[in-house]
Amino acid sequence: MADPSRKPEHRAFGDNELLPTVWTVDDAWFEGAGLHGLAILPRIPGEVKSLQGLTDALKDKRFAKEGFDCELLRLLASLAQDRSCNLVACNFDYLEDNDNFERIDRERNAVLVDLRYEKYAATAPERFPEGGEGYGVYLLKHLLAGRRCKGDFFFVTGYPEIVRRILDKYREDGSWWPIRCVPVVIKDERIEDELKCFFSYFLQGVYRDPVKEFAHALLRTNPLEASRRKRLGHPNSPTDILDDFPLRSAFVTDYADTNGMESFKALYFYEGNDVDGKGERWIAPSAFREHLAEATITVDVSGATPFLLPIQPGMLFVICLIRFCKALDGGVRSMTIRVTKREGGGGAAVLEIPLDKDKQDGLRIGLETAHEGGAIDALRSLLSCDRQCFVKEVGTDGQLVADTVWVRPSPVGRAGQSARRIYAPVINKTFQEGRLCLSWEWS
């Protein structure tokens, strides 16, 4: 550390490891910007740990005349809350620690680095030849040491020409190329628009894999321990679903005709207590189609609608289905599902997945010999859900780790006699000419 009198400081607002995190690195937070500025966060009570609490605290009249930095932090807190992100504020010394930097420089993290450190004492001129001017640029260059960053880094400054000037000085040095790719958030009277664009740009790249995206969304709606203690709540209507939730528009659009709230609960919500007595949840075809389309799989739905998915929550079925289609050699890009109703109640669904003969033979052999791996493993996951499952966590490869809640005792799905038990259908498989058929029924 350049100056032993300084110490690393950080403070987190929001602590949900499933959500993206925005880090903001600035001397204003713990030391005070400029030569005479007052530190902001030491004056926020320690019990304030939420984004809403931080936003409210910064509206206090004590901060009303403290200038641009308070407004910047308030905007970050408000936008992070609106877009379901965590926010962590730290000083330059915290970022400079190698262990901390390794934890910060990760996927799903955005790091906003201020440019100037006006109180900096020039104790390392070889690393910071301009002292506090352009400090953030030289610090990030030192930490990256010529390698690409894993997270998304941004400079925040009212003087973007400083970045351009420094980069122009080192054009012939290849170790500076990672810094050339860092965008600049301009700190001026249009900062709110700048930050909105920053959040949109950052969140575009957060969920790159639809399997991981859906799995994380499933986790967000079903905290494991909470489900064991009490019935979980859920939004009252699709318009109350978080703005960043995957394919939120599918539920909102369907609300008037086929009740998008039912589709949302069918896919994402595990209602173990079944307090309203409805038992299984029905899904609108459009919600099913759009979730598979997100994984570049087209599906044609025909027959009676809406319909019942064979596993609750239905996103378990969708995730396994996507993994199976992606794992096959060459992949599967389309499928059809036929839904029929029966007189007196109940119905059935047949999902047809096109397969050539070689793929069919490989699946047959794999299933018969219990061979693990690839499409065989994905199909086995799809067919072996003989227990009502609850998702516990997502592995690094996007696979789900589930806790079994109770065994499904009936081959035909219906709401059981106990209000605390929901049954799901058994999935049958048949290989027909040119396709694999998965079928299930309900009463």
pLDDT in tens, 301-358: 999 888 988 877 788 889 888 888 888 877 788 999 999 988 888 889 999 999 888 7
Residue 378: inside a domain: yes
Query: Whole-structure pTM over 0.75, yes or no?
Result: no
Q: Are 169 and 221 part of one and the same domain?
A: no
Q: Are 172 and 300 part of one and the same domain?
A: no
Q: Are 162 and 257 part of one and the same domain?
A: no
**162 burial type by CB count under 10 A (0-12 exposed, 13-18 middle, 19+ buried):** buried
Domain span including residue 376: 210-442
The tens digit of pLDDT for each residue in 384-432 reads 654 444 445 555 444 554 443 333 333 333 333 333 334 456 788 888 8
Q: How confident is the model at residue 122 (pLDDT cuts 50, 70, 90)?
A: low
Residue 4: inside a domain: no
The pLDDT, as a whole number, for residue 415 is: 38
The pLDDT, as a whole number, for residue 404 is: 38
Q: Are 178 and 229 part of one and the same domain?
A: no
Q: How confident is the model at residue 130 (pLDDT cuts 50, 70, 90)?
A: confident
The tens digit of pLDDT for each residue in 260-290 reads 888 888 888 765 544 444 556 789 898 999 8
Residue 37: inside a domain: yes
Q: Are 64 and 134 part of one and the same domain?
A: yes
Q: Are 239 and 132 part of one and the same domain?
A: no
Q: Are 225 and 274 part of one and the same domain?
A: yes
Q: Which token pair is 279?
A: 């038992």
Q: Is the pLDDT of residue 156 over 60?
A: yes
Q: What is the DSSP letter of 284?
A: -
Q: Are 111 and 216 part of one and the same domain?
A: no
Q: Are 196 and 223 part of one and the same domain?
A: no
As a whole number of angstroms, the distance between CA 405 and CA 391 comes to 10
Q: What is the DSSP letter of 145?
A: T
Torsion of CA 98, 104, 107, 110, to 10 degrees: -130
